[in-house]
Chain A
Amino acid sequence: MTDRNDFISRERFMAELYRYKKGSVTRRHFLGVTGLGAATAVLGAAMPGLRSAAWAQGAIGDRVALATWPNYHDPANFEAFTAATGAAVEVNVFGSNEEMLAKLQAGGSGWDVFVPTNYTITTYVGEDLIEPLDLAKIPNYDPAAFNQRFAGPGTVDGKVYAVSKNWGTTGFAVNTSNLGDKPKPTTWKEFWDLTMTDFSGRTMVHDYQLTTIGNALKYFGYSFNSIDPKELADAEKLLLDAKPHLFAISSDYQPSMRSGDAWMTICWTGDGKQMNRDMPEIEYVLGKEGGELWSDFYAIPKGAPHMDAAYALINFLLDPAVNAKEALFHGYPTADSRVDALMPPEVLADPILYPAKELLDALEFGAAVTLTDPNRAELMARFKSA
């Protein structure tokens, strides 16, 4: 049922869960069960109570399926979209680009819109899994308004395949109240060392090869994107040494951080912002050695069953007013200057969203090769099954 989101009955049905998850939008526990897509879709379909009461037939159909990331949308915007168009938004939540790629490679994902990260788009184009976009159907996308550093990777060989959603960084979040009189860690070296000492049993890492391997590589000062066998071997040794000290391997870390079970986690900008907003003792840190700078996109997979609804949803979400609401809710900056103009000044000055230049300069965009490199994929799988 995680797989299907229907915002009318969801609130009733999931009320108990939401009590624990203030500020959360998504079926985050889905991330704990990587690959459940098909099974849960069946479960969801088998529960009539989850279907929309307003099973209305609009001009664009009655539904649109979105594959996205945890805590990445304001549900109120989806409700507004459904109210305006009659199409209910079904949300699938993923914890890694690999999972999204695997679903699309297997075929029959049923998605209309998905949210790939910058470094994956050339692979999707090469594998013929992504639809070139007809920008005439997305009038709210104004290329001139977007920072090309973040929007640029959506264009491959002169064709636009993806339009910019948000950008952000991958750092770590630490609950400073558990540090005692120790100084706050500021580097990836300290992150891993603390994990294996004072924070033993309290740290989470992503269920995502790019960030977990990448930030293990940073321990040694290697590139976040390395595919060098010797450097990967060092990272693997560190990961295996750290594994007994981890609380969990999951890209869904907010519930455990908020409940106090976990004290530190690899973390994306918006999750860091959301947790810090509610619990100021949870601070967001960018490792001094560097790490990941990324940008996400809206794209349409080949063979999307509701193409019109897909364009309608993307266009709706890129409306600067809607996009500003999204950004205020989830805490990820956009690359759209029209959205920035609508943001309160304190948000534009927020160091979690807009880190200091020297921290930002040390970051790297993910490299396409990491998505398909068999050694990185197998290293992650070995680490998890160790």
Chain B
Amino acid sequence: MTPRLRTGLLLAPAALWLLAMLVLPLVVVLVFSFGERAAAGGYSAAFTLENFANLGTRWAAFKNTLMLAPVGTFLCLLIAYPLAYYLAVKADRKWRTLLLILVIVPFWTSILIRSYAWIYLLGGQGIPRLFDSLGLGNPRLINTPFAVLTGIVYGYLPLMVFPIFVSLERLDKRLLEASADLGSPPWRSFLQVTLPLSMPGVATGCMLVFILLMGEFLIPAMLGGGKVFFVGNALVDLFLQSRNWPFGAAVAVALVVIMLVTVTGYMRATRKWSGGRDDVSLM
């Protein structure tokens, strides 16, 4: 058996899997996006560009997604970085495992249940009532973009913490000692040594969170009350309520194109920031 054949055979299962589960479905979606809605809903064969011409009617969903996904990612980063730094650098070794487990524990429960808990926390009998009893007013929280962002940060935080934690943990402490020996105060060592070296983790975490957020529909549906609408919600609606598969397919194609463009741009940018190294990747 030639090495070439062996490589080919070893890669065959993965290639077949990708073909059947990724390429073919994408082709189906693309074909559907040029079709027409059947009389009782569904797909009927046709060739029309009308579905793409109608994309503007879902502008609000695209706008919400394109605004809240980056903002949610950024908020996750702001909260996750200090936490990951503490876990990787400051925390006592004795406690570190326990603390890491605490970060994972919420994942043991379905996000549905946890989002349901937030409905009550953010609802009129929850945090707003607490504020009211403290004389701080009675803010409306549930079914607002704020509620959706809260759910997003809560749900996605571990995905941001772990890549950053891993990159900080691998950090060679001797570099910091060298930096100190050369007269850098701690804050400068952080900015010039720790932060740049943790960039691969930051980039990975941001990518993970951002990509998943672009397709999110559960949190906006539950904490947005059907009023903070993501593209994911528009898709669910088009396939599972109005049964307009061709238009749904066109929206999906548009989302894929937007993702490809933003993620490619993002990867180029992070490569530039991290000094052209190639280790900025999905772990």
Q: In the complex where A247-B143, A248-B225, A256-B123 touch, is A377 in contact with B60 (Cβ < 8 A)?
A: no
Binary contact track A229-253/B, C-beta < 8 Å → 1, others 0 = 0000000000000010011111000
Binary contact track A174-201/B, C-beta < 8 Å → 1, others 0 = 0000000000000000000000000001
Q: In the complex where A1-B113, A34-B237, A385-B58 touch, is A377 in contact with B227 (Cβ < 8 A)?
A: no
Binds A, one of B33-41, B75-83, B186-194, B265-273: B33-41
Binary contact track B36-80/A, C-beta < 8 Å → 1, others 0 = 010111100000000000000110110000000000000000000
* CB atoms of B123 and A374 under 8 A apart: no
Nearest CB of B to A301, in Å: 15
| Minimum CB distance partner of A251 in chain B | B226
Binds A, one of B157-165, B195-203, B241-249: B241-249
* CB atoms of A17 and B116 under 8 A apart: yes
Q: In the complex where A33-B112, A372-B41, A385-B229 touch, is A248 in contact with B143 (Cβ < 8 A)?
A: yes
* CB atoms of A126 and B120 under 8 A apart: no
Chain B interface extent, by class: 35 or more
When distances are taken between beta carbons in the complex, the residues of chain A under 8 Å from B124 are 259-261
* CB atoms of A201 and B140 under 8 A apart: yes
Q: In the complex where A249-B226, A256-B123 touch, is A385 in contact with B242 (Cβ < 8 A)?
A: no
* CB atoms of A378 and B112 under 8 A apart: no
* CB atoms of A33 and B221 under 8 A apart: yes
| A385 contact from B39, B233, B240, B243, Cβ within 8 A | B233
Q: In the complex where A102-B41, A378-B242 touch, is A34 in contact with B125 (Cβ < 8 A)?
A: no
| A1 contact from B37, B110, B226, Cβ within 8 A | B110
* CB atoms of B42 and A105 under 8 A apart: yes
| A33 contact from B41, B218, B239, B243, Cβ within 8 A | B218
| B218 contact from A36, A207, A374, A380, Cβ within 8 A | A36
| Minimum CB distance partner of A98 in chain B | B241
Q: In the complex where A99-B241, A259-B124, A261-B123 touch, is A248 in contact with B37 (Cβ < 8 A)?
A: no
When distances are taken between beta carbons in the complex, the residues of chain A under 8 Å from B221 are 32-34
* CB atoms of B241 and A29 under 8 A apart: no
B234 at the A interface (CB under 8 A): yes
| Minimum CB distance partner of B232 in chain A | A35
Nearest CB of A to B244, in Å: 7
| Minimum CB distance partner of A47 in chain B | B110
Nearest CB of A to B261, in Å: 22
When distances are taken between beta carbons in the complex, the residues of chain A under 8 Å from B244 are 374, 377-378, 381
Nearest CB of A to B151, in Å: 12
| Minimum CB distance partner of A103 in chain B | B240
When distances are taken between beta carbons in the complex, the residues of chain B under 8 Å from A380 are 241-242
State the CA gap A247–B42 with chains docked (Å). Answer: 31
State the CA gap A187–B39 with chains docked (Å). Answer: 34
State the CA gap A190–B236 with chains docked (Å). Answer: 32
Q: In the complex where A17-B116, A43-B110, A372-B41 touch, is A385 in contact with B61 (Cβ < 8 A)?
A: yes
| B116 contact from A29, A260, A385, Cβ within 8 A | A29
B209 at the A interface (CB under 8 A): no
A386 at the B interface (CB under 8 A): yes
* CB atoms of A248 and B112 under 8 A apart: no
B207 at the A interface (CB under 8 A): no
Nearest CB of A to B124, in Å: 4
When distances are taken between beta carbons in the complex, the residues of chain A under 8 Å from B152 are none
B84 at the A interface (CB under 8 A): no
B213 at the A interface (CB under 8 A): no
Identify which of residues 341-386 in chain A touch chain B, using a CB-to-CB cut-off of 8 Å.
371-372, 374, 377-378, 380-382, 384-386
Binary contact track A290-331/B, C-beta < 8 Å → 1, others 0 = 000000000000000000000000000000000000000000
* CB atoms of A99 and B41 under 8 A apart: no
State the CA gap A98–B222 with chains docked (Å). Answer: 20
* CB atoms of A102 and B58 under 8 A apart: no
Nearest CB of B to A359, in Å: 29
When distances are taken between beta carbons in the complex, the residues of chain B under 8 Å from A99 are 240-241
State the CA gap A249–B240 with chains docked (Å). Answer: 16
Nearest CB of A to B253, in Å: 17
Q: In the complex where A1-B113, A99-B241 touch, is A248 in contact with B233 (Cβ < 8 A)?
A: no
* CB atoms of A207 and B226 under 8 A apart: yes
State the CA gap A349–B85 with chains docked (Å). Answer: 68
* CB atoms of B58 and A259 under 8 A apart: no
When distances are taken between beta carbons in the complex, the residues of chain B under 8 Å from A278 are none
| A261 contact from B37, B57, B142, Cβ within 8 A | B142
Nearest CB of A to B53, in Å: 14
When distances are taken between beta carbons in the complex, the residues of chain B under 8 Å from A55 are none
A276 at the B interface (CB under 8 A): no
State the CA gap A256–B237 with chains docked (Å). Answer: 22
Nearest CB of A to B21, in Å: 15
Nearest CB of A to B105, in Å: 16
Nearest CB of A to B133, in Å: 15
State the CA gap A43–B221 with chains docked (Å). Answer: 18
A155 at the B interface (CB under 8 A): no
State the CA gap A126–B218 with chains docked (Å). Answer: 33
Q: In the complex where A17-B116, A40-B112, A43-B110 touch, is A381 in contact with B238 (Cβ < 8 A)?
A: yes
* CB atoms of A385 and B60 under 8 A apart: yes
When distances are taken between beta carbons in the complex, the residues of chain A under 8 Å from B148 are none
* CB atoms of B60 and A98 under 8 A apart: no
Nearest CB of A to B8, in Å: 33
Nearest CB of A to B121, in Å: 12
State the CA gap A198–B48 with chains docked (Å). Answer: 46
When distances are taken between beta carbons in the complex, the residues of chain B under 8 Å from A377 are 41, 241-244
Given known contacts A29-B222, A35-B239, A246-B225, what 17 new A-B pairs fall within 8 Å (CB)? Answer: A1-B110, A29-B119, A33-B217, A33-B218, A36-B218, A43-B112, A99-B241, A102-B41, A246-B227, A261-B124, A261-B142, A371-B40, A372-B41, A380-B242, A381-B241, A384-B233, A385-B237
Question: What 9 pairs across the A-B complex have the smallest Cβ distances?
Answer: A248-B225, A249-B226, A377-B242, A35-B240, A35-B236, A261-B124, A102-B240, A381-B242, A33-B221
Listed A/B pairs (15) with beta-carbon separation below 8 Å = A1-B110, A20-B120, A34-B237, A40-B112, A99-B241, A106-B239, A249-B225, A260-B124, A261-B123, A377-B242, A377-B243, A381-B237, A385-B229, A385-B234, A386-B60
